[in-house]
Amino acid sequence: MVQLSDIVVLLPEINLLIFACAILVVDTFTQDPARRITYLLSQIALLVTIGLVFFLHTGASIYVFNGTFVSDPMSSALKAMIGIYGVVIFLYSFEYLNKQDWVKGEYFVLGLFAMLGMMVLISAASMITVYLGLELLSLSLYAMVAMQRDSASASEAAMKYFVLGALASGMLLYGISILYGITGTFQLQELNQQIQMHTGQNALLVFGMIFVIVGIAFKLGAVPFHMWVPDVYEGAPTAVTLFVSSVPKIAAFAMAIRLLVNGLEPLMQDWQLILIILAVVSMAIGNITAIAQTNIKRMLAYSTIAHIGFLLLGIIAGSHLGYAASMFYVITYALMSMGAFGIIIFLSQKNFESDNLDDIKGLSDRNPWFAFIMLILMFSLSGVPPFLGFWAKWFVLKELIASGYVWVAAAAVFFSIIGAYYYLRIVKLMYFDKPERPVLAGASAQMQVVLSLNGIALLVIGMFPGLLMALCLSALL
């Protein structure tokens, strides 16, 4: 029987659902082609959700709905981050949609439903809840990628994303069914206990675990389940790419922690080996392939694949400090990714995406301040101190070495050095090359302020990384 206390724990999700449904109705009847009311209501929905997350946070782990949903410090921290980042993403996206004269209310509605799926996924305490949250997120993203119906590249990207996503979801569901068949439970805590009791069926458990890892790896975009990433990043409108590249990675990290750590921890030695292979290959292919790209969005797609490899290293460490380092990494990466795509939106004009490397040439002459912001973003992505991206890599490598995986850490450093090339190439193009065509960058005052704060935050937080790391540790201990 559902109790009132159960409903209270779900207030952030219920609030977001009610707002999303109400905004869908309002958008249907609005006469404003700029969809300002849709945008404002979407921002209010996220701000109210953030407020509810903080208000309901107690620091304790509360299980509701027969142990299928949990509210704990990790879920509160990640939901707050998704809400805060969502506000920034919607601001950038509204700027882009207005520039392209292509404002779609569906973008904001689907974005809210996607974030609702992320929040369910983050609080999942059962494999069924994991699957429900993942599907709500995935179906929203498929529709967002396909929104620009007149674009052949967007339609192609959406079709690839949908087909590969359906395949990965099927594999995840197959893995869940195998684990349920052996242990007789969907709840992750009970699954952990049952695995310890079924040591004689270790081979079958590992077989089911492999299918679960496939689902996680696809959502993160790790090699060899990365095929959708470059096509979606390049083919989708920049506003959609901005969304796909940032907050869903936070939800995918939470999915990995819930399934691998909370549920399959007794099989740690088995999933560590698989994750090592995924991480090293992702860093190798991501960094090396990114060098050959001339499209910034496609380059950032392969950069994402490489960063996912780094993100997995903290989970491979198999300690609370390692998991906290991975959480630090995914929060940092989402912030860097938002800023990078924000610059692309800043440079874009109507019917002109400004997403080729040549389009960024001579930016320091045209707009010195935002060339400096882009420099911060690129230095942070490449891991140059004292920017925040350096500390993200440092904490992950530190915990990996502490766990005895020195050769994996050495491989990560090697591929990170290779990756620095294509980030520094952008800095070289901005400061030392002359533009081949005049690109007049411009944006609203609020966009310029938020984009500036986005870049400066990487420097300021990089000066005091212990504050963010303390948050991550308190969320996972």
If pLDDT is split at 50, 70 and 90, which confidence band does 442 have? low
pLDDT for residue 280 is more than 90:
yes
Residue 34 has pLDDT above 70, yes or no: yes
For 290, other C-beta atoms within 10 Å of its C-beta total 24
| CA atoms of 283 and 308, how far apart (whole Å) | 8
Residue 441: CA count within 13 A, CB half-sphere: 25
pLDDT tens-place string over residues 21-32 = 999 999 888 888
Q: Which residue has the higher pLDDT, 359 or 412?
A: 412
CA 349, 353, 358, 362 dihedral sign is positive
> pLDDT digits over 209-242, tens only?
899 999 889 888 888 888 888 888 888 888 999 9
Query: Are 248 and 208 spatial neighbours (Cβ–Cβ below 8 Å)?
Result: no
Q: Helical H runs in 318-367?
A: 320-347, 363-366
The ranges assigned to domains in the chain are 4-476
Question: What is the model's pLDDT at position 174?
Answer: 92
Average pLDDT over residues 133-162: 88
Which whole number is the average pLDDT over 45-58?
92
> What DSSP character marks residue 380?
H
pLDDT of 57 higher than 70 = yes
pLDDT in tens, 315-372: 998 888 999 999 999 999 999 999 999 988 888 877 777 778 888 888 888 888 888 9
pLDDT surpassing 70 at residue 128: yes
pLDDT band at residue 276 using 50, 70 and 90 as cut-offs: very high
Mean pLDDT over residues 37-58, rounded? Answer: 92
- pLDDT, residue 200, reads 65
Tokens of 85: 């980042």
User: Does pLDDT of 175 surpass 70?
Assistant: yes
Asked if residue 402 lies in contact with residue 324, where contact means CB atoms within 8 angstroms, the answer is no
Mean pLDDT for the stretch of residues 49-57:
92
Counting residues of the chain whose pLDDT is more than 90, the rounded percentage is 47
Q: For 295-322, what is the mean pLDDT? A: 90
Q: How confident is the model at residue 348, as a pLDDT?
A: 82
Output the pLDDT for position 2: 64
